[in-house]
Structure 1
Amino acid sequence: MPKCQSDCLERESQLRKTLHFNRNGKFKIVQFTDTEFCTPDDEELQMKAMMRRILEAEQPDLVVYTGDVISSNKSPNPIQAFKDAVSVPEDMQIPWAAVFGNHDSEAADMTREQLHNLQLAHRFCYAQPDPPNVQGAGNYALEILDEQQQPAAALYFLDSGSYSPLEHLRVGFYDWIRRSQIAWYTDTSYRLTARNGGAPLPSLGFFHIPLPEYNDIWDFSVCYGQKLDKYCCAPWINTGFFAAMMEMGDIMGTFVGHDHGNDFWGTLHGIRLCYGRTTRNAYLDQPFPTGARVIQLTEGLRSFDTWLHLEDGSVIHEQPAHQPEGRRLQT
């Protein structure tokens, strides 16, 4: 088959894949994060076994990998490492999608564009080809349909990049969501809202590196969960993605990884900013069981439920509250 014909068939196959609320009006997502697959060993076999147990127990409608799917510079074969990372939902025939983190493309011979094309080649991957003229690789939106086959919710996936392009000027260490991505998000949101009679679709956002606002909610709001990393390793540059979400009025919550010792969430101006639960070693000097975050949407509601499912099988619905330590400036 000619390559151009093969590429066209693959694109059509991606466009035909659709997500739906189930008969009970629910849609469940399992978020795996920072799996950092690199070399097949006992740790990775145990991680895959844990991922399978969680998926068997939760029976999700979608699996989302929020970055650092692989540790490419530590792997002798990054392509095989990625295939290993996504093999569990692939084998179980569960729809899945991924965004990329800073470790995914550290190897000189592995680009984010190659990784995105690699995920699109998998049978049960529901990611979409990149829009033109948008920074990064792995920017796409997925609709969740109701019984009438109409969009009832949306999921946004964004490439939060890897390392600061201005690091030589000492402007931060990690990358940020760029203006072209924010423009793509707002354009897509406008389109979906217009198709929905002017009402924003209940939506969620997934990316790897936390926004600067994640530091704000921990310092100035009541949060739920743990912050065992000293800092939220957010970019120093704030490009206004949070403001864009507020203006569009559709995204109810965001889900990130990156900081392996953090699993907290908090609400800022009506948007819940959530960490996943690291699926691989948290690199801490204290116990911190690995696992996943689970997110559940209910058709027709502008809200969602979320809980943790850990490696030992325990399910945590109520995370401990953390009182803010910072003080708001008085005006």
Structure 2
Amino acid sequence: MQISDLHFSASGGKCISADQIKTCEQDGADLTTKKFLSKAIKEARPDLIVLGGDQLLGKDKTFDTISTLTKIGQFFSGEKVPWTVVFGNHDSDRSLAIEEQMYLFKHMPFFVGKAGPGVPGFEEEGLPAPLTSRISDMGVGNYILQVNASLSDPTQLLSLYFLDSHDYPRRSISQLWDLAMGGNNKFDWIKKSQIEWYKKSSNEQPRILRPYEPSQGYQDRSKLMSNKEKKKPIGLIGALDVRLARGWERRVRVFEVSNFGEKVETFEIKHAIDTQNLPVVRLGSHLLFDSSSDTLTST
């Protein structure tokens, strides 16, 4: 579940566009929001909650950042669901930097986020050295969360990437003058160092060749398809055209995390307790493509 723009404050908050919620002014915006979120979380039963930025009301308005973050942490920890954050432009508070905010979050129950590479004071994360000497431009909150098959099965099924979108770029004198004369405030952007970090990190994740129709294994396309169908290549990003497949061509699907990878692995279907009605999906260890040797093999 993704939740964005809480705009919490140390006080009760300000009700905005809440004309249909009669109790908002009486209860306060923050309490009204928490009541709504509690109901939504109970109905959705998420495995992970992601706060997508602007947890705080904003600069010069969140006068007690620590109390506000404690309010946020107490609420989401109380839901007993793993949760994490990325930061928005309103979270750049003068009284508490986002590095300090992340440090505070990391000491709250059920929080699973990370500061990411290049952020001093978080050596316990055990991250490698940054890819650039200008580490400050990466920001805070560039990290990966890996989703496993289950609590007892460490098979990695999914990788979730989180990036810091920053707040506002550094302004020149002319830009400051333009802003003072009524110009629009422009937001910052993803940095080159973050893109390089993503490329390197995604390159280390396992790739999966995933057919639409589960099969016992892959077979030569020439034995399965007509001459007309053989002429249609099944493209594989970052590797080469797939020459081995199973089932009809229109039902073959390829799933790739990114096009920077070197390996592609198959998946297979196993059944729990020999019951056909209870399929359990598990990743196989069959290597289909390895760019280091430029080989393509059947499984």
TM range (shorter): 0.5 to 0.7
- What is the CA distance between 1:121 and its match in structure 2? 1.1
Query: Deviation digits for residues 231-253 of structure 1, max 9, x if unmatched?
Result: xxxxxxxxxxxxxx86448xxxx
1:167–1:100 distance in 2 versus 1, CA, 3 Å: farther
The equivalent of 1:100 in structure 2 is 87
Aligned partner of 2:159 in structure 1 is 154
Indicate yes or no: 2:187 matched with 1:174.
Answer: yes
Q: Please state whether the residue corresponding to 1:103 is helix, strand or coil.
A: helix
Query: CA distance change for structure 1 residues 172 and 48 in 2, over 3 Å: closer, same or farther?
Result: closer
RMSD across aligned positions (CA) = 2.8
One-letter amino acid of the structure 2 residue matched with residue 151 of structure 1: Q
Aligned to 2:140: 137
- Aligned-pair distance for 1:118? 1.4
* Greater alpha carbon shift after TM alignment, 75-84 vs 129-138: 129-138
CA 1:183–1:53 in 2, change beyond 3 Å: closer, same or farther?
A: same
Give the aligned partner of residue 266 of structure 2: none
Q: CA offsets, 1:3-48, max 9 Å, x none?
A: xxxxxxxxxxxxxxxxxxxxxxxxxxx1110001113321111111
Match of 2:66 in 1: 79
What SS is found at the alignment partner of 1:51? helix
CA distance in structure 2 between the aligned counterparts of 1:146 and 1:165, rounded to whole angstroms: 43
As a proportion of its length, which structure holds more strand?
A: 1
Deviation at 1:129, TM superposition (A): 3.5
How many residues get paired? 176
Report the AA paired with residue 36 of structure 1.
H
Partner AA of 1:40 in structure 2: S
**Contact 2:203/2:258 (8 A) holds in 1:** no
Q: Which among 147, 155, 169 is matched to residue 164 of structure 1?
A: 169
TM-score by length of 1: 0.49
Tell me the TM-score normalized by structure 2: 0.54
- 1:31 maps to 2
Q: Which segments of 5 or more consecutive residues in structure 2 lack a partner in the other structure? A: 13-27, 119-129, 176-183, 211-256, 262-280, 284-299
1:186 corresponds to 2:199: yes
Q: Distance in 2 between matches of 1:248 and 1:126?
A: 27
Give the Å deviation of 1:166.
Answer: 3.9
C-alpha contact (below 8 Å) 1:166/1:172 kept by paired residues: no
The structure with higher relative contact order (CA 8 Å, sep 6+) is 1
Deviation at 1:131, TM superposition (A): 1.3
Hey, what's the Cα distance between the residues in 1 that align with 2:209 and 2:196?
17
